[in-house]
Protein backbone atom coordinates (compact mmCIF):
# COMPACT_ATOMS: atom_id res chain seq x y z
CA UNK A 1 0.00 0.00 0.00
CA UNK A 2 2.78 2.38 0.91
CA UNK A 3 4.55 1.65 -2.38
CA UNK A 4 1.42 2.37 -4.45
CA UNK A 5 0.76 5.62 -2.60
CA UNK A 6 4.35 6.71 -3.26
CA UNK A 7 4.02 5.70 -6.90
CA UNK A 8 0.74 7.60 -7.19
CA UNK A 9 2.28 10.76 -5.67
CA UNK A 10 5.30 10.47 -7.99
CA UNK A 11 3.01 10.06 -10.98
CA UNK A 12 0.93 13.05 -9.93
CA UNK A 13 4.06 15.19 -9.54
CA UNK A 14 5.37 14.06 -12.93
CA UNK A 15 2.02 14.83 -14.54
CA UNK A 16 1.81 18.28 -12.99
CA UNK A 17 5.42 19.01 -14.00
CA UNK A 18 4.60 18.01 -17.58
CA UNK A 19 1.41 20.05 -17.53
CA UNK A 20 3.29 23.08 -16.20
CA UNK A 21 5.91 22.69 -18.90
CA UNK A 22 3.22 22.45 -21.59
CA UNK A 23 1.43 25.49 -20.16
CA UNK A 24 4.75 27.36 -20.03
CA UNK A 25 5.40 26.61 -23.70
CA UNK A 26 1.92 27.82 -24.58
CA UNK A 27 2.52 31.07 -22.72
CA UNK A 28 6.08 31.64 -23.94
CA UNK A 29 5.57 30.98 -27.65
CA UNK A 30 2.80 33.01 -29.21
CA UNK A 31 0.37 31.33 -31.62
CA UNK A 32 1.84 33.09 -34.69
CA UNK A 33 5.36 31.90 -33.82
CA UNK A 34 4.05 28.41 -33.02
CA UNK A 35 2.47 28.34 -36.50
CA UNK A 36 5.77 29.47 -38.02
CA UNK A 37 7.58 26.66 -36.21
CA UNK A 38 4.95 24.12 -37.28
CA UNK A 39 5.36 25.23 -40.90
CA UNK A 40 9.14 24.82 -40.65
CA UNK A 41 8.65 21.31 -39.28
CA UNK A 42 6.24 20.54 -42.12
CA UNK A 43 8.77 21.75 -44.70
CA UNK A 44 11.46 19.66 -43.01
CA UNK A 45 9.28 16.55 -43.21
CA UNK A 46 8.63 17.10 -46.92
CA UNK A 47 12.32 17.78 -47.53
CA UNK A 48 13.09 14.33 -46.09
CA UNK A 49 10.57 12.80 -48.50
CA UNK A 50 12.18 14.61 -51.46
CA UNK A 51 15.67 13.51 -50.40
CA UNK A 52 14.57 9.88 -50.10
CA UNK A 53 13.07 10.04 -53.60
CA UNK A 54 16.21 11.62 -55.04
CA UNK A 55 18.44 9.05 -53.32
CA UNK A 56 16.40 6.24 -54.87
CA UNK A 57 16.31 7.79 -58.33
CA UNK A 58 18.16 6.31 -61.29
CA UNK A 59 17.86 7.21 -64.94
CA UNK A 60 16.16 3.85 -65.54
CA UNK A 61 13.10 5.39 -63.84
CA UNK A 62 12.80 7.59 -66.91
CA UNK A 63 10.99 10.86 -67.30
CA UNK A 64 8.09 9.67 -65.12
CA UNK A 65 10.53 9.05 -62.25
CA UNK A 66 11.99 12.54 -62.62
CA UNK A 67 8.49 13.98 -62.80
CA UNK A 68 7.54 12.17 -59.57
CA UNK A 69 10.43 13.92 -57.81
CA UNK A 70 9.34 17.22 -59.33
CA UNK A 71 5.84 16.69 -57.91
CA UNK A 72 7.31 16.08 -54.44
CA UNK A 73 9.40 19.23 -54.86
CA UNK A 74 6.26 21.20 -55.66
CA UNK A 75 4.77 20.13 -52.32
CA UNK A 76 8.02 21.19 -50.61
CA UNK A 77 7.95 24.55 -52.37
CA UNK A 78 4.36 25.09 -51.26
CA UNK A 79 5.30 24.30 -47.66
CA UNK A 80 8.28 26.66 -47.75
CA UNK A 81 6.09 29.43 -49.16
CA UNK A 82 3.51 28.80 -46.43
CA UNK A 83 6.28 29.02 -43.81
CA UNK A 84 7.44 32.28 -45.37
CA UNK A 85 3.93 33.71 -45.32
CA UNK A 86 3.23 32.65 -41.74
CA UNK A 87 6.67 33.51 -40.35
CA UNK A 88 6.66 36.92 -42.03
CA UNK A 89 3.18 37.58 -40.60
CA UNK A 90 4.65 37.55 -37.09
CA UNK A 91 4.68 41.18 -36.02
CA UNK A 92 7.81 42.75 -34.65
CA UNK A 93 10.89 41.02 -33.36
CA UNK A 94 10.21 37.75 -31.58
CA UNK A 95 11.02 37.14 -27.92
CA UNK A 96 14.12 35.30 -26.75
CA UNK A 97 12.13 32.17 -25.97
CA UNK A 98 10.48 32.27 -29.37
CA UNK A 99 13.86 32.84 -31.06
CA UNK A 100 15.21 29.79 -29.26
CA UNK A 101 12.28 27.71 -30.53
CA UNK A 102 12.65 28.93 -34.10
CA UNK A 103 16.44 28.58 -34.17
CA UNK A 104 16.25 25.09 -32.66
CA UNK A 105 13.83 24.09 -35.42
CA UNK A 106 15.94 25.71 -38.13
CA UNK A 107 19.00 24.01 -36.64
CA UNK A 108 17.37 20.66 -37.35
CA UNK A 109 16.31 21.76 -40.83
CA UNK A 110 19.64 23.10 -42.11
CA UNK A 111 21.48 19.75 -42.23
CA UNK A 112 18.50 18.28 -44.09
CA UNK A 113 18.76 21.06 -46.68
CA UNK A 114 22.48 20.41 -47.09
CA UNK A 115 21.94 16.64 -47.37
CA UNK A 116 19.13 17.04 -49.91
CA UNK A 117 21.15 19.35 -52.12
CA UNK A 118 24.15 17.01 -51.83
CA UNK A 119 21.88 14.17 -53.00
CA UNK A 120 20.58 16.24 -55.92
CA UNK A 121 24.14 17.15 -56.89
CA UNK A 122 25.15 13.50 -56.68
CA UNK A 123 22.36 12.47 -59.05
CA UNK A 124 23.18 14.99 -61.79
CA UNK A 125 24.47 12.34 -64.20
CA UNK A 126 21.26 10.36 -63.66
CA UNK A 127 19.11 13.40 -64.43
CA UNK A 128 21.33 14.29 -67.42
CA UNK A 129 20.60 10.88 -68.94
CA UNK A 130 16.89 11.73 -69.29
CA UNK A 131 15.64 14.25 -71.82
CA UNK A 132 14.42 17.42 -70.04
CA UNK A 133 14.97 16.02 -66.53
CA UNK A 134 17.95 18.27 -65.81
CA UNK A 135 15.94 21.25 -67.00
CA UNK A 136 13.21 20.40 -64.49
CA UNK A 137 15.78 19.99 -61.69
CA UNK A 138 17.34 23.38 -62.55
CA UNK A 139 13.96 25.09 -62.38
CA UNK A 140 13.10 23.34 -59.13
CA UNK A 141 16.41 24.32 -57.54
CA UNK A 142 16.02 27.91 -58.70
CA UNK A 143 12.48 28.12 -57.27
CA UNK A 144 13.48 26.45 -54.00
CA UNK A 145 16.43 28.79 -53.62
CA UNK A 146 14.23 31.86 -54.16
CA UNK A 147 11.59 30.62 -51.69
CA UNK A 148 14.24 29.68 -49.13
CA UNK A 149 15.99 33.04 -49.42
CA UNK A 150 12.70 34.86 -48.85
CA UNK A 151 12.03 32.71 -45.78
CA UNK A 152 15.59 33.19 -44.51
CA UNK A 153 15.34 36.97 -44.88
CA UNK A 154 12.11 37.01 -42.92
CA UNK A 155 13.48 34.83 -40.13
CA UNK A 156 16.69 36.85 -39.82
CA UNK A 157 14.69 40.09 -39.67
CA UNK A 158 12.54 38.66 -36.84
CA UNK A 159 15.55 37.48 -34.83
CA UNK A 160 16.28 39.58 -31.74
CA UNK A 161 19.62 41.38 -31.63
CA UNK A 162 20.19 40.49 -27.99
CA UNK A 163 21.75 38.29 -27.06
CA UNK A 164 23.95 38.60 -30.15
CA UNK A 165 24.29 34.81 -30.35
CA UNK A 166 20.79 34.63 -31.87
CA UNK A 167 21.76 36.77 -34.85
CA UNK A 168 25.12 35.03 -35.20
CA UNK A 169 23.41 31.63 -35.28
CA UNK A 170 20.73 32.78 -37.73
CA UNK A 171 23.37 34.24 -40.06
CA UNK A 172 25.41 31.02 -39.84
CA UNK A 173 22.37 28.94 -40.81
CA UNK A 174 21.68 31.21 -43.78
CA UNK A 175 25.32 31.06 -44.88
CA UNK A 176 25.26 27.25 -44.76
CA UNK A 177 22.09 27.06 -46.83
CA UNK A 178 23.38 29.64 -49.32
CA UNK A 179 26.63 27.68 -49.74
CA UNK A 180 24.65 24.52 -50.51
CA UNK A 181 22.54 26.25 -53.11
CA UNK A 182 25.68 27.79 -54.60
CA UNK A 183 27.16 24.31 -55.04
CA UNK A 184 24.01 23.25 -56.91
CA UNK A 185 24.02 26.45 -58.96
CA UNK A 186 27.63 25.86 -59.98
CA UNK A 187 26.94 22.24 -60.90
CA UNK A 188 23.60 22.66 -62.67
CA UNK A 189 24.40 26.10 -64.15
CA UNK A 190 21.11 27.78 -63.30
Predicted pLDDT of residue 69: 98
pTM of the complete model: 0.84
Q: What is the pLDDT of residue 28?
A: 85
Q: What is the pLDDT of residues 166-176, one digit of tens each?
A: 999 999 999 99
d(CA 135, CA 132): 5
Question: Which of 144, 147, 152, 149 has its CA nearest to residue 190?
Answer: 144
Contacts of 161 (CB under 8 A, 6+ apart): 93, 167
Rounded CA-CA distance 99/159 in Å is 6
Per-residue pLDDT at 172: 98
Amino acid sequence: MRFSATLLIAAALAFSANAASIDRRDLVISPPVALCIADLVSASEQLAIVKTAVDGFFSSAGYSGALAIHNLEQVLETRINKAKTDCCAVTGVITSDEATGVLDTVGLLVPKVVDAITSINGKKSQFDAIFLATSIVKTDLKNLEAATKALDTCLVNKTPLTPPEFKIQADAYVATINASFLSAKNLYKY
